[in-house]
Amino acid sequence: MFLAEGCGALPDSEDGSFSGQAVVGGSNVSVAQNNSSAFPYGATVQIAAPQFGQSANFPSVGGQPTSCSGIKIGANRYLTAAHCVDTWSGPFQGQVLISNHPSNQPGALDSYTVTAVYVHPSWAMKSGEGNWLGRPYDVAMFDVQETNAIPALASNGSPKINTADITNGWFSRLVGYGSGVKAWGDNSAVSATGDHPFYDEAAMAYTSFFWTGNPSGEPGDSGSPVLNEFSTGWWVSGVMSGPGASSTQSRIGRVEPVINWIKNPTQPAIAGGSAGYLINRKAPACLQASGTGFASQWACYAATSSTDVQYWVLQSTGVSGRFRLKNGKTGLCIAVVDSSNGGHIVQQACDTANSNAFQKWDFVAKGNLDTSDGDTAVGFKFYQLKNAGSARCIGPNNGSALQGQLFHQYTCTTANDFLWAFTR
């Protein structure tokens, strides 16, 4: 019933698509349950590629039509896994099939026109050298042109995203179409175990939570909502992404750390007062204030609050595109102490006199973030963060992709080390 592994029958790969496994546990959703507002089942949908006609080219595995699961979170918007929409090429009038029926397969009357696809910037940024599973968020949304009567899991027009941290022992409910019919099952969150050549297990603790044992999964459950019930009803805590670091675990991509992006998946303005994550393309990993007075790279997990360690505010300097970067947790600004190549990025009290050039950073645009798989990172661009005093750029220590490495300044190049995305 539940996919521990991905959309279709492929061998383990670096892009988040994994081979399926047999149905283990779970209960089918009845028509009555599907139509009851007491459950989140009605909002859960099956997403399928049409066999004929103008396809939006997702979901697809190896170029062949397949299916994923997802959940409706707005009048025209659906939440799913990023790897489910990786193959979108943005064709005009491209169609997908969407249905919330508990057992009938979607047909021609369930066809919808895709108008936009949004994958989280960390997923769009991943490259061959920075494709560390567990760091990028396997989370995506897409919009369709047509409306329907499927209920959206939303409150006052806003998606119901759980802001609580799912920790060990929490029971969560997954609802998906892995068996071809809608089914649900509960399981308990556990710590990541095992070792996988493509996984960053340390990062996973921040970006994912895990299930072990029954129920397990099979193809078709990718993108399934994982939910928790509170006094105000059901809220989305994650989406099914793939297997854990061991064969007994399933990986659920957290949605709480990207809640601001889910609510508004456009790039924040490069302007004074804008704030959010700064993601370096090399890993990909986020700029984080280090307690030792430096800045280091970690999985992106803490920029939803203005007091988070990865929350950076752009402070205007009076020059277009040039800002001080103030950390929400420490209240300090990042800087360099001189013009030396390889010098550390440090934290200093923000210069309110606006005279310290070593605290000023130019956002130098370096092209669109997404270059191939359709318009999946709408409006996002890559930037170099170039220091106004030293004319050098922020990059990871000697090009390292390891978590915890300190950032330094180096002579600017076009390498991934010096490319950044800015997102909520």
Runs of H (alpha helix) within 209-324:
259-263
pLDDT at 280: 96
pLDDT at 131: 65
Report the distance separating Cα 116 and Cα 336, nearest Å: 40
* Percent helix, strand and coil across the chain, each to the nearest 5: 10, 35, 55
Report the distance separating Cα 170 and Cα 128, nearest Å: 34
Same domain for 417 and 282, yes or no, is yes
Same domain for 33 and 177, yes or no, is yes
* Residues in Cβ contact with 210 at an 8 Å cutoff, skipping those fewer than 6 apart: 189, 190, 191, 192, 204, 244, 249, 250, 251, 252
Same domain for 239 and 334, yes or no, is no
pLDDT at 20: 27
pLDDT at 217: 62
Same domain for 227 and 191, yes or no, is yes
Strand partners, 288: 296
Same domain for 82 and 107, yes or no, is yes
Residue 12 belongs to some domain of the structure: no
Same domain for 327 and 217, yes or no, is no
Q: Which is more confidently placed, 180 or 364?
A: 364
Convert the pLDDT of each residue in 224-259 to its tens digit.
999 999 999 999 999 999 887 777 788 899 999 999
Residue 13 belongs to some domain of the structure: no
Report the distance separating Cα 348 and Cα 335, nearest Å: 7
Report the distance separating Cα 218 and Cα 313, nearest Å: 42
pLDDT at 15: 31
Same domain for 347 and 393, yes or no, is yes
The mean per-residue pLDDT over the stretch 130-151 comes to 90
Query: Which CATH number does the domain housing residue 253 bear?
Result: 2.40.10.120
pLDDT at 62: 64
The mean per-residue pLDDT over the stretch 116-122 comes to 94
When the pLDDT of each residue in the chain is averaged and rounded to a whole number, the result is 89
Place of tokens 């918007």: 77
Range of the domain at 319: 266-423
Asked whether the predicted pLDDT for residue 3 surpasses 50, the reply is no
* Residues in Cβ contact with 32 at an 8 Å cutoff, skipping those fewer than 6 apart: none
How far from each other are the two terminal CA atoms of the chain, in whole angstroms? 34
Residue 4 belongs to some domain of the structure: no
Asked whether the predicted pLDDT for residue 196 surpasses 50, the reply is yes
Q: Which is more confidently placed, 186 or 329?
A: 329
Place of tokens 């992006």: 261
Confidence of residue 373 (pLDDT cuts 50, 70, 90): low
Residue 19 belongs to some domain of the structure: no
Asked whether the predicted pLDDT for residue 43 surpasses 60, the reply is yes
Q: Identify whether the C-beta of residue 387 lies closer than 8 Å to the C-beta of residue 336.
A: yes
Report the distance separating Cα 412 and Cα 418, nearest Å: 7
Q: What is the DSSP string of 55-87?
A: B---SEETTEE-EEEEEE-SSSEEEE-GGGSTT
Same domain for 288 and 358, yes or no, is yes
Residue 2 belongs to some domain of the structure: no
Q: What angle do CA 17, 20, 22 make, to 5 degrees?
A: 165
Task: Count CA within 13 A, CB hemisphere, residue 90.
Answer: 12
Asked whether the predicted pLDDT for residue 139 surpasses 60, the reply is yes
The mean per-residue pLDDT over the stretch 290-294 comes to 91
pLDDT at 247: 74
Same domain for 377 and 284, yes or no, is yes
Confidence of residue 216 (pLDDT cuts 50, 70, 90): low
pTM of the predicted model as reported, rounded to 2 decimal places = 0.93
Whose CA is closest to 279, among 256, 258, 305, 306?
258
Domain count, the chain: 2
pLDDT at 266: 95
Residue 266 CA, chain-centre distance (Å), reads 13
Asked whether the predicted pLDDT for residue 406 surpasses 80, the reply is yes
Whose CA is closest to 74, among 304, 267, 263?
263
Query: Which CATH number does the domain housing residue 320 bear?
Result: 2.80.10.50
Same domain for 222 and 347, yes or no, is no
Report the distance separating Cα 65 and Cα 58, nearest Å: 7
Of 204, 226, 258, which marks where a domain is finished? 258
Strand partners, 314: 325
Same domain for 206 and 315, yes or no, is no
Convert the pLDDT of each residue in 317-349 to its tens digit.
999 999 999 999 999 999 999 999 999 999 999
**Using CA atoms in the order 424, 400, 406, 423, what is the torsion angle rounded to 10 degrees?**
-10
Asked whether the predicted pLDDT for residue 309 surpasses 60, the reply is yes
Of 258, 280, 304, which marks where a domain is finished? 258
Residue 63 belongs to some domain of the structure: yes
User: Of 164-173, 342-351, 391-400, where does mean pLDDT reach its minimum?
Assistant: 164-173
Confidence of residue 68 (pLDDT cuts 50, 70, 90): very high
Q: Which is more confidently placed, 1 or 33?
A: 33
Place of tokens 């169609």: 95
pLDDT at 19: 26
Report the distance separating Cα 202 and Cα 189, nearest Å: 16
Strand partners, 372: none
Convert the pLDDT of each residue in 21-37 to its tens digit.
223 467 999 999 999 99
Of 228, 258, 288, which marks where a domain is finished? 258
Q: Identify whether the C-beta of residue 219 lies closer than 8 Å to the C-beta of residue 6.
A: yes
Residue 7 belongs to some domain of the structure: no
Residue 11 belongs to some domain of the structure: no
Same domain for 211 and 83, yes or no, is yes
Whose CA is closest to 336, among 364, 297, 295, 308?
295
